[in-house]
Amino acid sequence: MDQTNHTAVTEYVLLGLQDHHSLEIILFVLCLAIYCITLLGNSFLVGLIVLDPHLHSPMYFFISNLSLIDICGTSSFTPMMLFNFLDVQRTISFPSCALQMYMTLALGATECLLLAVMAYDRYVAICQPLRYSELMNGQLCIQMAVISWGTGFANSLLQSILAWRLPFCGHYIINHFFCEILAVLKLACGDTSLNALTLMVATTVLTMTPLLLICLSYIFILAAILRVPSAAGRSKAFSTCSAHLTVVVIFYGTISFMYLKPKDKDPSVDKIITLLYAIVAPSLNAFIYSLRNTEVKAAVTALVRGGLLTRKISLF
């Protein structure tokens, strides 16, 4: 058997929906619009958090991290995918493919961990309000963010090293829109049992464990809210975590639907579902945190009226 390693392949072909070019044109318009919304919405939210001193709190620090993940995650594969839709370029170099796979995997794991950290932040805010400033101090927030990013990128580095050390026997056609790790592993002609094991462990530790911590946090949060005597108090308490809960439901709901649903007979359907998950969810986060948060809406109002920039300039 030819044991030509992946180093013999200098570029890969991203198959996409090559047999459905008319559908690719529709996806190009849709994905371009969603990508622009993601960039503008999340960039605006980060800028707003930086400008408004009222948003300099742990919750908004983590929200800005989440927005950066959404910007970097979609930017890691969307521009090249858009070129592929137009048949401008269907090939990707080996370094670009390796970087694309590394970034998408790293940022996905980081987002899972960050959502768990944000759930802990909401738990402290509602269940331990008098100790919130003490427990969620700036140093701890930075440490939790660094651990989330570092763990996600370290796991991706391990998965990438294990994937690219496999023999690929000259196979170079990736049946996907971008270099997703499962699609890349299908090219391997060697034993991938170690890859499957490490991916399963990583999925359990970095995806299911954060979900368990999120669920536990909200059990305590719900119990604390139900103990609030007034309806207005309960509503105010719940409103502080409703945006985060919505993002968690969308994030884990789409993942569950994508991986637990029966495989479609047409693989193109599964590829489109994966694509929509990868680009639609990041575009929603900024709007959810903007529309469901009174402090963000107040900051937007101040920015429109010119008061926000005036306050920022006066600080210097």
* 3-class SS letters over 25-36: HHHHHHHHHHHH
Do 103 and 80 meet the contact criterion of CB atoms below 8 Å apart?
A: no
pTM metric for this prediction: 0.87
pLDDT reported for residue 116: 96
Do 162 and 198 meet the contact criterion of CB atoms below 8 Å apart?
A: yes
Which two structure tokens, joined as six digits, stand for 61? Answer: 């620090």
Angle between helices 307-314 and 21-51 (to 10 degrees): 50
Which two structure tokens, joined as six digits, stand for 71? Answer: 């910007």
| pLDDT tens per residue, range 223-248 | 988 888 888 878 877 877 888 888 89
Torsion of CA 44, 45, 48, 53, to 10 degrees: -170
The residue ranking higher by pLDDT, 272 or 157, is 157
The span from the CA of 289 to the CA of 241, in Å, is 10
| pLDDT tens per residue, range 145-171 | 999 999 999 999 999 999 999 888 878
